Amino acid sequence: MKQWVIGSMLLLTSVGALAAPVISDAWIPEQPPGAMASAVFLTMKNTGDRPDALIKASAPGFKAVQMHKSVQVDGMHRMIEQKEIAIPAHGETRLAPGGYHIMLIGPNKPLVAGDHVPVTLTFSDGTTETLQVPIKKRPAMSGAMSH
């Protein structure tokens, strides 16, 4: 009995250290008809004791879904595909215009404000989460490059 109690306590401690990321503030900017790409922006918060990472994103209705980071190189705006996007232990990572984002390439239909896109996120700890991400009117530009 004593071994069972100790083993159960160790299991509960390990599970608590591997908390799934908490996703908030997810949105997709509305695109005009014929636009070839858009992006998913959101915040990922890691409440666990170990670092985690977004390793894959998928969404039906697009030719491709990729993870990118926007950077300035020699005065030019470039997007660099990412194999993963790290989320530090007890920290958060924002996917926002001008930084990390999930690219939605080749939509089958226009992205119209008020609609939702199911986006599935896969993390390095093995967890997945499917979100119904709202499409919203594009906010006024603040110097960040749009897609």
Instruction: Name the residue ranges covered by the structural domains of the chain.
Output: 20-136
pLDDT tens column, 54-71? 999 999 999 999 999 999
Q: Predicted confidence band at 2 (pLDDT cuts at 50, 70, 90)?
A: very low
Q: Which of 80, 92, 95 is nearest to 41 (CA)?
A: 95
Amino acid found at 92: E
Structure tokens at 25: 């503030």
Q: What angle do CA 24, 65, 94 make, to 5 degrees?
A: 30
Mean pLDDT score of the chain: 86
Distance CA(140)–CA(125), nearest Å, equals: 37
Q: Predicted confidence band at 75 (pLDDT cuts at 50, 70, 90)?
A: confident
pTM of the predicted protein model? 0.81
| Tally of CA atoms within 13 A in the half-sphere of 118 that contains its CB | 5
Mean pLDDT computed over 59-86: 95
Mean pLDDT computed over 11-40: 80
50 or 18, greater pLDDT: 50
pLDDT score, position 141? 57
Which residues in 20-143 belong to E strands, given as ranges?
22-29, 37-45, 52-58, 62-73, 76-81, 85-87, 92-95, 100-107, 116-123, 128-136
The pLDDT of residue 144 is above 70:
no
The CATH number of the structural domain formed by 20-136 is 2.60.40.1890
Pair 38, 109: CB distance under 8 Å: no
Q: Which of 126, 99, 133, 98 is nearest to 21 (CA)?
A: 126
The pLDDT of residue 50 is above 50:
yes
